[in-house]
Amino acid sequence: MTYFLLFLISFLISLAVVWLARFFGGKFQFFDLPKEDPQKIKIHQKPIPFLGGLAMFLAFSILFFALSCFYEFFDWKIGGILFAAFLIFFVGFFDDLKWKNYFVKPKIKLFFLILFSFLAALILTKAGIKIQFFESIIAGFILTFFYILALINVIDFQDGIDGLAGGMTTISLLGFIVIFLSGGNLLPFLISLILLGAVLGFLIFNFPPASIFMGDSGAYFLGFFLAVLAILFSKPCNILSIIGPILIIGLPIFDTAYVIVKRVLEKKSPIVGDRDHFYDVLHFKKGFSVKKTLLICYFIQVILVAGGLFFIYI
């Protein structure tokens, strides 16, 4: 009952903050414009506020910080997670505010993503959070950095149609909730539960037709926490603790890997966006509606998450 109440509070806070973000985003014209992007064609037909990421970040951070202080379990580990999350959110929010509707060289964006992912990995490692598969601190740091950099991009790549990135993350969080609850790991369980409420509060307004977008800030924020949850689940010399979270994060990872390999084989830049993702094929080439495309992607994601849970427990 206490856990359900915590989830409900997170959901209601997110619902309220997302509504405010949608209102003020429209009032002060923080819009994602419906013009042709140099990297790929946008499918919305009118300006949409992009402050959903800010709303999720605030809803999660306020509740998580308040909870840790109230129950007096705030420590360097939690402080490190929140500060690293802020850094990743910040670089995405700067992108939303300054670069979203202007052509900025992908290499410049990649440089800042690498830099801020490196800083976030350094903070997490100092706070005692790193991939535990190897005993070496350096190897753990390198893998932690790679996880963060990879997953913020993985989720960002899925933010191409209404409700997809948030919906896929929701299904993954349900998988993480199961493994952390059954394993008695309180910190990652609370992160998963509070984040689930924050994402669902956003999805109410993001499900097609969306009235607010998460922006790069939201995608990076969600990708960062999926990386943190995968890192917290890792165990020394335990391959299951690596493969399991990959399956639970699911379709975004496999779709991104496929697209990058395809771009490289076609001698294209792997960091320049296009419309070759799985959801693009379903929507643009196969002619499925946005909602049918979502349902297909959600179904595949559920299968992968279930497979990850089966793989872990078997």
Least confident segment among 89-103, 145-159, 228-242: 89-103
Contact 116, 87 (CB under 8 A): yes
- In degrees and rounded to multiples of 5, residue 31 shows phi and psi of -110, 150
The reported pLDDT for the residue numbered 99 is 63
R_g over Cα of the chain: 18
The reported pLDDT for the residue numbered 38 is 47
Q: What is the pTM of this model?
A: 0.94
The reported pLDDT for the residue numbered 266 is 83
Highest mean pLDDT among 58-72, 103-117, 198-212: 198-212
The reported pLDDT for the residue numbered 268 is 81
For the cut 80, the answer to whether the pLDDT of residue 221 exceeds it is yes
For the cut 70, the answer to whether the pLDDT of residue 33 exceeds it is no
pLDDT over 90, % of the chain: 69
For the cut 70, the answer to whether the pLDDT of residue 45 exceeds it is no
User: Which pLDDT band, with edges at 50, 70 and 90, does 71 fall under?
Assistant: confident
Distance, in Å, from the CA atom of 102 to the CA atom of 137, rounded to the nearest integer, reads 40
Judged by DSSP in three states, 36 sits in strand
Q: Classify residue 36 as left (phi > 0), alpha (psi -120 to 50) or beta.
A: beta
Contact 21, 52 (CB under 8 A): yes
The reported pLDDT for the residue numbered 44 is 58
The reported pLDDT for the residue numbered 100 is 62
Q: Please write the tens of the pLDDT for every residue from 182-198.
A: 988 999 999 999 999 99
* Mean pLDDT, the chain, integer: 90
The reported pLDDT for the residue numbered 35 is 61
Show me where the domains of the chain are located. 2-313
User: Which pLDDT band, with edges at 50, 70 and 90, does 107 fall under?
Assistant: confident
Q: Which amino acid is at 120?
A: A
Written as six digits, the tokens of 292 are 């049918």
The reported pLDDT for the residue numbered 206 is 96
Q: Please write the tens of the pLDDT for every residue from 249-295.
A: 999 999 999 999 988 888 787 777 677 899 999 998 898 999 999 99
For the cut 60, the answer to whether the pLDDT of residue 40 exceeds it is no
The reported pLDDT for the residue numbered 72 is 72
In this prediction, residues 151-175 reach a mean pLDDT of: 96
Q: Which residue has the higher pLDDT, 104 or 250?
A: 250
For the cut 90, the answer to whether the pLDDT of residue 76 exceeds it is no
Distance, in Å, from the CA atom of 133 to the CA atom of 115, rounded to the nearest integer, reads 24
In this prediction, residues 78-99 reach a mean pLDDT of: 92
Written as six digits, the tokens of 75 are 């420590």
The reported pLDDT for the residue numbered 222 is 98
Distance, in Å, from the CA atom of 164 to the CA atom of 72, rounded to the nearest integer, reads 36
